[in-house]
Amino acid sequence: MSKAQMYKQAIIKETLKRNPHSEIVYLQSAIDESQNADEILLAMRTVASARGFKKFAEEADLNRENLYRVLSENGNPRLDTFLKLIDLMGFKLSLKPK
């Protein structure tokens, strides 16, 4: 990740900490604007980081290291883990026609 991207993520993280209700808007826009798994995982990682990885991992019933791994750039969470994480973030999975 470039310095500019890291700076952008730091600003987003601070915004999410100050206004937790913005998490839904942030995640929804990440999903709507990109069907790229890496970008969606980055958005999820930013939300988890803003909430605190340790606390979020406990809520997800995962150890912190596993949460880091599944939300990493090379992460590839299992479907049940992904569903658990999006549930904790206030989402549910649904499909819609193209």
In a domain, 95, yes or no: no
Residue 93 lies in a domain: no
CA pair distance 1, 31, nearest whole angstrom = 20
> Is residue 98 in a domain?
no
Helices 3-18 and 37-51 meet at what angle, rounded to 10?
50
The pLDDT tens digits of the residues spanning 5-26 come to 776 778 888 888 888 788 888 8
In this structure, is residue 44 part of a structural domain?
yes
**Total structural domains within the chain:** 1
- Residue located via tokens 């299992």: 78
What is the span of the domain harbouring residue 44?
3-88
Q: Quote the pTM value.
A: 0.82
Question: Nearest CA to 96 among 24, 30, 22, 32?
Answer: 32
* Residue range 70-81, pLDDT digits in tens: 999 888 999 999
pLDDT in tens, 26-58: 888 888 887 788 888 989 999 999 989 999 999
Question: Is the predicted pLDDT of residue 90 greater than 90, yes or no?
Answer: no
The residue behind tokens 């193209």 is 98
| C-beta atoms surrounding 58 within 10 Å | 13
What is the mean pLDDT of the segment spanning 60-66? 91
pLDDT at 71: 92
pLDDT at 32: 86
